[in-house]
Structure formats: C-alpha cells, structure tokens
Chain A
Amino acid sequence: MDEVIAQALESQEYFINMGPQHPSTHGVLRLVLSLDGEIIRKVEPHIGYIHRSIEKMCEHDSYQQIVHLTDRMDYLSCHINNEAVCLAVEMGLQVEVPERVKVIRTIIGELTRLSSHQLWWGVMGMDLGAITTFLYGFRDREMITDIFEETCGARLTMNYNVPGGLMFDIHPNFQKRTKEFVTHFRKKLPEYDDLLSNNVIFRERTIGIGKLSKEDAISYGVTGPTGRASGFSCDVRKHHPYSAYDKVQFNEILRTEGDCFARYQCRIAEMWESLSIIEQLIDNIPEGPFKAPTKAVIKLPKGEWYQKVETARGEFGVYIISEGQKSPYRLKFRSPGFSNLSALDHMARGAKIADLVAIMSTIDLVIPDIDR
C-alpha cells in the first residue's frame, strides 16, 4: 500500500523553455529550466540568438569603425563601451588625449550609467509585478537622453567617442541642462525608495534571495554592482582609473549580503555616487581642443593591449592584438553580462520561478552584450 502511495505521489522533474520570447528575459535569452513543481533544480542558459559575430567583423574594420560596433553590444552603456575601445586604441598609439576630453567622457559616462540604472530600476519593479516603476524610471531617463540628443544627435547608440577624443564639442547648453538634471534627480531619487525599496512585499521578495558568496563571485567573474553586492571589490574606476576618475572623489559601493536586495541597494547607491561625480566635474570642464590629432588611417603597432572599463553592468574589457595593420588581428570583448550570466544557475538553484525573475533582473542582463 505504501508503495502504491509513494508511486502515486512521486513527482517528476519537468522542463520549461523560458524564452527566447519571454517578458522577463529582456530580449532573446533562452533559459531551459528543470523544475520540480515551482522549485528550480537547474537553469541552463542558451544564448546566441542575437549573436552577430562582432569580433569577426572587427577583424575587417578600421579602428574608427570598431567604435561604432560597440554601441550595439551593451546598448545601455554605449558611451562607456565606445570609451573602452578608444582608450585601448589611444594606449596603442600612445596618444595623450586632452584634459577636456577626459572630463567630458567621464561626465557622459556617468550619465550613461545613471540612465542605465534608471532603466534597470524600472524594469526591476516591472519584473516583480509593480508596473508603475517602469514609467517612473523612464520619466527621469528621458532627461538624460534629451541631453545626449542635444550633445550628439542620438539618444541611445551615441557614437560620441572617436579614437583620440570626441566627435565634436559639447553643446553650449550641456552644462546647464546637466545641472538641471542633477538637481531634478536628487529630488526624485528618494521617490524610488518610497515606491520600491521600502515596500514590504519588495523586501520579502528580494532579501535573502539568490545569494552569491564573495568567493563564488570572484570565481564566476561576476563584476559590477552584482559582484560588489557580494563584497567583491571590482570597481574598475577605483582599481584602474581611466579618463578623469582619478580626479574625483567617490566611494566604491560594497555590500556583503550578496542577495537580490544587496544588488538592488548597490545600484541605488551607485546612482547617488554618479550624481556626485557629475557635480564635481560639471563646472570644471577645462578649455581646450575636443580631440587629439590622429591620422585618418589608424595603424596600431605590433603588440597587444587590454583596456578595462566599468560599465553599468560590470567590467568591460577590450583585448586588441595588432599585427601592425589597419584592422586588429584579433579583438576580444570581455562583456560583463556574459560572466554574470554564467553564475545564474548557481544563484537560482533551489529558488522558485518568481525568484528566478528577481535574480535575473538584479543581475541586470542586456542580451546583445552577452551574445555580442
């Protein structure tokens, strides 16, 4: 009799395809979930649905062209991606870019980070079922994209950097509008806390969910706010300062809990830091040229360079191997999302489907960044 009951009650693992079209995978990520009821036994990411082989394309493009391809990877940190390639090429050419360029790059980089985090915040709320946050996030992001549009004509894929400097100088309104934005957003950021951070349901849904220890974070190469929430000090801006980050005061946000809520708080705190970085620099943009003179056809000498920068998602690396031609021999993009995604299985095992959604949104995946 007991056997019959045991047999009747025996549960079976089953599989679910989450994606490639699914509202919370934010693009064309496909996760194959092994489930036991609602509990996740295994997550197997299948990526590559938006793989465009950018690295192969780079092997045939000039260095100026490569910059434009990087926009299409992590489109939310487009400026920072551009900057990484430009910095790598400048390092190879041994060009010293003007101070003005460094400061402008830093300001726009921080604005990019803010806009990315705002979008993430909105989407995070939406993933957890609070749709209103999405619109609030977009409301403030709109001001930043307006500044970008005025600066370089594009709102998302900006292409503002070129090897040696910037494509053109900032708009006369840039400083005024950025300051307006900073004062506006300093008032609005506490609203984010009111709406989501202090909400009981939100805290219940995120605290203690998707834990990642510091050792695992390092071993999986999880960087950015996701890694820092686990206590992995990996802020490239602090450890390997580039552009004007060595001239500004800011804190590296570190937390030790490593759960979804810590990752959430990390990003919120980073927004405050970004605002303070912008405030320190916006009135101190040095005069000077907006571009160091470079040749029309850039040929890097034989050698190899690795440049890492801190995008909104983590450590973005550009590895250029040059054989002295006008195109790189091999170019590798180390995208933060790729490594962060690899830890998803580890974080999500034993959680519920609803937790997986929370974990995914706190990792802040951008699929083109993963697939390249």
Chain B
Amino acid sequence: MKALYDFSYLTNAIHQWLSSFLSPNGVMITEMILVGLAFMLFFAVLGLVLVYAERKVSAFFQQRLGPMRVGKWGTAQTIADVIKLLMKEPIINKEADRFLFNLAPYIIMMAAFMAMAALPFARGLQALDFDIGILYVAAVSSLGVIGILLAGWSSNNKYSLIGAMRAGAQIISYELSVALSLLTIVVLTGSLQLSVIVESQADGWWLFKGHIPAMIAFLIFLIASTAETNRGPFDLAEAESELTAGFHTEYSGLKFAFFFLAEFANMFIVSAIGATVFLGGWMPLHIGNWEGFNAIMDYIPPIFWFFGKVSFMIFLMMWFRWTFPRLRIDQLLTLEWKYLLPINLVNILVMAFIGLVGWHF
C-alpha cells in the first residue's frame, strides 16, 4: 500500500532482489530491459485508451454515441482497430525512397519514447531524472519533426511534401513558444530538473503561485503544445480537407498506425509536461490552511493525481480539436511570430521581475 504513495519502495525492492543474484552490470542491464518493456506496454495501453477516449469525446461533442458495438460501450473497438491495422497490406508506392519511407515512422516513435523517459509519473516513478529534464524533453520531442519531414519527402507525393513542409515550419516555430513558456516557470523554480520542479509545488501549483504571468504562460503553452503535436485546429500537416492526409497519405497498415500512435503519445507527453510544470505534477491539490481538506487530498495516491491532471489537459486538447476550424499556414505563423513570441518574451521579463522581488508565493 505504501508503494502506491512512493514508488521508490517498489523500485528499491526490485533492485535489491536483482542484486541478490546478479552482478551490478547485470542488474543495470536487466533493469534497463524491464524499464523498456514497461514503457512499451505503457505505450500500447496509452494508444488504446487515448484512441477510445478521442472517439468517445468527439462523439459526445457531436451529439452521437461513438463506438458502441465491440465490447461493452465499444471499449474493445480500438483492439479491433489495431487488429485491422496489423492485418492490412503495407503498401509502398513504386517511386518512394524505400529506406527513408520505412525509417520515418520509427523516428517519430523513437522521439516519443525518448521524451517519455524523463516524465515523473509519481513519487519515485521516473526512469531518468536529469538535471536538465525540461531541456531534454523539449529537445527530444521536437526530433519527431525529422520523421515527418522524411515521411513527406520519401513518399514522393506532392500532398505529402506540402504537408511535411507545413509541419516543419509549424513545429520549429511553435517549439520556441513551448520552451519559452516553460522557461517562465523555470525562472521561479531555479532548476530544470523535473523532480525538483514537482517538489517545488508541494505548497501550491505554479499556475496559482506565479500570478498572472504564470497563467499567460499556461495559455501560451496550451496553444503552442497543441500546435506542436499537429492537432486541430493546427493540424495543417494532415489537413484532410486540403491535403487528403498530408505527410502520411501514402502510409498504410502498421506504419500508419505508428504515426497515429505517435500523435497520441505526443499529446500525452505535452500534457504531462504541462501538468508537471504548471499543475504540480503528481502533487495533490492543497489549499492553504484547510487541514482536513489537504489530508483528504493527500489520501489520493500521486499517480492518480498525475494521470488526472494529464487527462484534464488531454481533454482540453480534444475539446479544441472538435470545436475549432483549422488555421491557414500564414495565419498559423503570424500567430506564433507576431503574437505568441513577443508576449512570451515580455512575460518572461515580468516573471523574472516577480521572481527577483519575491512577489510570488
């Protein structure tokens, strides 16, 4: 039961058990494999859950029921979809650059995997706790754009190429806003390490502690991260009504599933970062001196807090997608370079001032 509140009990127990019959090197390798397997499993489950969630959420926004036939309330629908995608013929068009064409989905998946490694899921449940955690996540998560560009280029399809070029311009631009809005909070925490950022919010979330600049940063983060994951209203790279399916027009079967999965994984990652930096990660909600209330909040295990906050962020992103029309490419870049970026820069200055004077809580 204790392990549910602090996962280091569990991880230490495993470590000691492995050490009892393996050499230190053997322990390290075994643990790496275990972590890898755990992440793969988590990835698969994440895909299943998020696809189902997206379909249900969109259905309710559109006044319909969504999948209802496979399993109770259609819960097994995604499993059926996965089986369908696995059994589909992988079609590669004749003129495609086969090597790059096959490589692209793996690059995108890899980027998502690498970013996932640094996320603090709960107390003591974090694969890698860098001292430059945020920088690492921001850097790695934008590696995915290489996969998108490769996919667009190697497909030898003009629609794919246009989609890829749009994605390139878009992700590189919005990467700035994501990083800068995160930096706004880093000004207060004084550390890039994700676990330290979470710990610093034990007495309140940065969204509330950081006054108005933190809220502005949160809004910018929401917009920019939606854009960075290529989701509506910023889904210009796919833009089904303009470019049929954008960069993944020529992909089918399992490789298409990889793109699809990577989109949901990226959505999870940015939501997790947002939840960690702005909403206190796995820290429970505490309100000032309400001892009773705080005690009840503490009773809920951190992992539920984390996934609860992430789900909230994901729901927000789904809400955007199913409400707004899509922007045009020039409007998208105007929004970033003319509005978000200058606001962001000023916001950091204001935040630095607040941090220096000590006006934050």
Residues on A close to B: CB < 8 A? 14, 16, 22-24, 38, 125-132, 134-136, 139, 195-196, 199, 201-202, 204-205, 352-357
Contact = CB atoms under 8 A, between A and B. Distances in A.
26 contacts: A14-B158, A23-B240, A24-B242, A38-B329, A126-B241, A127-B241, A128-B325, A129-B235, A129-B325, A129-B326, A130-B233, A130-B323, A130-B324, A134-B62, A135-B62, A135-B63, A135-B64, A136-B62, A136-B63, A201-B327, A201-B331, A204-B331, A205-B331, A352-B330, A354-B236, A356-B242
Interface in B219-255: 232-233, 235-236, 239-244
Given A126-B241, A134-B62, 5 more contacts: A128-B325, A201-B327, A201-B331, A354-B329, A357-B241
Contacts of A130: 233, 323-326
Nearest to A21: B244
B162 interface: yes
B328 A205 contact: yes
A196 B325 contact: yes
B159 interface: yes
Contacts of A24: 241-242
A128 B330 contact: no
B106 interface: no
Contacts of A136: 62-63
Interface of B: 58, 61-64, 158-159, 162, 232-233, 235-236, 239-244, 322-331
Contacts of A196: 325
A357 B243 CA distance: 10
B241 A128 contact: yes
A132 B158 CA distance: 28
Contacts of A195: 323
Given A132-B61, A353-B162, A201 B326 contact: yes
Contacts of A38: 162, 329
A355 B325 contact: no
Contacts of B327: 201, 204-205
Nearest to A195: B323
B159 A16 contact: yes
A24 B162 CA distance: 17
3 closest Cβ pairs, A-B complex? A129-B326, A135-B62, A128-B325
Contacts of A353: 162, 242-243
Q: Main SS of the interface on chain A?
A: helix
B320 to A, nearest CB: 11
Which residue of A128, A129, A352 has the most chain B CB atoms within 10 A of its CB atom?
A129
A16 B323 CA distance: 30
A205 B239 CA distance: 14
Contacts of A201: 233, 324-327, 331
A127 B233 CA distance: 12
Contact of A139 (B63, B236, B244, B329): B63
A195 B63 CA distance: 14
A159 to B, nearest CB: 30
Given A201-B327, A205-B328, A352-B328, A129 B232 contact: yes
A164 to B, nearest CB: 42
A270 B325 CA distance: 23
Nearest to B166: A38
A323 B329 CA distance: 58
Of B242, B243, B323, B327, chain A has the most CB atoms within 10 Å of the CB of B242
Given A23-B241, A135-B62, A135-B64, A125 B325 contact: yes
A257 to B, nearest CB: 19
Given A22-B244, A139-B63, A129 B233 contact: yes
A129 B62 CA distance: 14
A125 B326 CA distance: 9
Contacts of A205: 325-328, 331
Contacts of B331: 201, 204-205
B328 to A, nearest CB: 4
A14 B159 CA distance: 12
Given A132-B62, A205-B325, A23 B244 contact: yes
A368 B236 CA distance: 30
Contacts of A354: 236, 239, 242, 326, 328-329
